[in-house]
Amino acid sequence: MNTANELRNTETNSVDASMQLVGFAIGRELFGVDILKVREIIRDAPITSIPNSPDFVEGVTNLRGNIIPVIDLRKRLNLLEQDTEGSKIWILILEIEGRITGFRVDSVSKVIKILVRSIEPPPEIVTAGLESQYIDGVCDIDGRLLILLNFARILHVDEIKRLKAMTE
């Protein structure tokens, strides 16, 4: 997904250009990802832990014979820990630059249709401290702030190599 400014610039031909997002929550925060990146959404899949993996790697899951790494998005984004004991496991299966990866989230809401022009770039003070620029933009959805994530930037190159080695 492009940054907020690039999204607006590429869609200038249509005044009401829109995009569809899959909405999901981590704690009280609402996030979105381009629906075209979502392969599927699974619930309560067993996750097998991997010894000596990074803290944010939940483990791997077997999806119809394919071993897929699962990242705990709460830990990866350094969001406050919440008591998730006994809650259902939601995993977004995304295809990012040819890689299939699962991302554990607290809940998945619905498909959200937004106008591209409603996406604002994130404040510089927010993105300045981030190791990778994984926030593409923000927009208002029914009085709540929705954060658009760029999953291609959530992991660093060396982390991607480690994940690939785990699943081979």
Confidence category of residue 12, pLDDT binned at 50, 70, 90:
very low
* Structural domain count, the chain: 1
Torsion of CA 154, 156, 162, 167, to 10 degrees: 30
Q: Average pLDDT, stretch 117-146?
A: 78
Using CA atoms, how far apart are residues 82 and 58, in angstroms rounded to an integer?
A: 15
pLDDT of the residue at 1: 43
In the chain, pLDDT over 70 holds for what percent of residues? 75
pTM for this prediction? 0.80
Helix, strand, coil share (%) of the chain residues, nearest 5: 20, 45, 35
Give the CATH number, domain containing residue 87.
2.40.50.180
What are the pLDDT digits (tens) for 71-85? 999 988 888 766 555
Report the DSSP beta bridge partners of residue 146. 30, 139
Residue-number span of the structural domain to which 112 is assigned: 4-167
Rg of the chain's alpha carbons, rounded to an integer?
16
Cβ-proximal residues to 87 (8 Å cutoff; 6+ apart), any chain: 106
Beta bridge partners of 55: none
Q: In a 10 Å sphere around its CB, with 0-12 CB exposed, 13-18 middle and 19+ buried, how is residue 135 labelled?
A: buried
| Whole-Å CA distances, 100 to 4, 35, 93, 147 | 24, 14, 7, 22
pLDDT digits (tens, 9 = 90+) for 134-144: 888 899 888 88
